[in-house]
Amino acid sequence: MTVNRALPAPSRRFVRSGHDVRRMRMDQVVYGLALAAGLTCIVPLGAVILFVTANGIGALNLDLLTKAPRALGTGGGAVTAILGSLQLVALASLMAIPIGVLAGVYVNEFSGRRPARLIRFAADVLVGVPSILVGIFVFTFLVLPFRQYNAFAGSVALAVIMVPVIARTTEETLKLVPMTLREASLALGVPVWRSVVSVVLRAGLPGILTGVMLAVARAAGETAPLLFTALGSRLVNVGDLGQPMDALPLFIYANARQPYPVLNQQAWGAAFLLLLFVLTVNVLVRARSWGHRRA
């Protein structure tokens, strides 16, 4: 004879021991400390954005964007610096992107080989090298022999800074590409180089573009290498890479040191332009990353 006995309803009350209470309190303390540390990291960024915006937005006008600088603090604008930055960063990108991407591909696809390990180590070291040392290096080989500061040397210095960033980002991105894609391509008889170009690079393209954009943003804000190479100029230089060329960081550095309030205000305006560029690039990078995750 089977007797059905109803099981007692589970009690919603439970007794917390002193150990559980201490763990919960410690968890809340650690969470609060982590949150405070995160907010502390945001404060400097917000302060810089607010400070540069407050001082530079008033100097942002048509003259700053369309006129060349004038001597003795009599006005003018930053068109030479804007055009120079566009040319220097564009040329540096043309040199750095192919080298950085191909280096990242080699290090990831042939990671077991000794040259790949050497390239990875060199890229890690080069990322941490101060940019002023890169400027001195390029100055020694591309400025001193010709006895002429020139825009080409400035672009080479920026490219040297960009290459390790692009290479390491490319490598880390390609590591996320599933190995099954490579195996499926090779199983169809596709050569290794074609599999890398058509399958691996295509799958990792969003991450590679993210690394490229971050490298471009970093190069656009570098000052020290350009002091030893491009030097800066108050003349509009479009396309003449053998002559000195101005850039926004150089324009900010030179005008901020002048005793004329007009030039100081122009430096703030140029700083605001550079901040807008860097923020725009970073926002585009984050938007691309979010879109890729949702997809």
Q: What does the pLDDT read at residue 56?
A: 93
- Taking residue 196's Cβ as centre, other Cβ atoms within 10 Å add up to 21
Q: What does the pLDDT read at residue 207?
A: 87
Best CATH choice for the domain 82-247 from the list 1.10.287.110, 3.30.70.260, 1.10.540.10, 1.10.3720.10: 1.10.3720.10
Q: What's phi and psi for 69, nearest 5 deg?
A: -65, 155
Q: Which of 171, 156, 173 is nearest to 285 (CA)?
A: 173
Q: What does the pLDDT read at residue 283?
A: 84
Residues 221-248: what's their mean pLDDT?
94
Residues 201-206: what's their mean pLDDT?
89
Spatial neighbors of 167 by CB under 8 A, at least 6 apart, are 99, 100, 101, 103, 104, 107, 119, 123
CB 248 within 8 A of CB 81: yes
For 36-86, write each residue's pLDDT tens digit: 998 898 999 899 999 999 999 999 999 999 999 887 667 789 999 999 999
In the chain, where are the structural domains located? 82-247
Q: What's phi and psi for 99, nearest 5 deg?
A: -65, -45
Torsion angle of C-alpha atoms 52, 53, 58, 61, degrees rounded to 10 = 100
For 8-30, write each residue's pLDDT tens digit: 555 445 455 677 888 888 999 99
**pLDDT band (50, 70, 90) for residue 89:** very high
Residues 212-235: what's their mean pLDDT?
93
Q: What does the pLDDT read at residue 183?
A: 87
**pLDDT band (50, 70, 90) for residue 289:** low
For 158-168, write each residue's pLDDT tens digit: 999 999 999 99
CB 228 within 8 A of CB 157: yes
Q: Which ranges of 131-260 does DSSP label H, i.e. alpha helix?
A: 131-142, 151-174, 179-187, 192-195, 201-203, 205-220, 224-228, 248-256
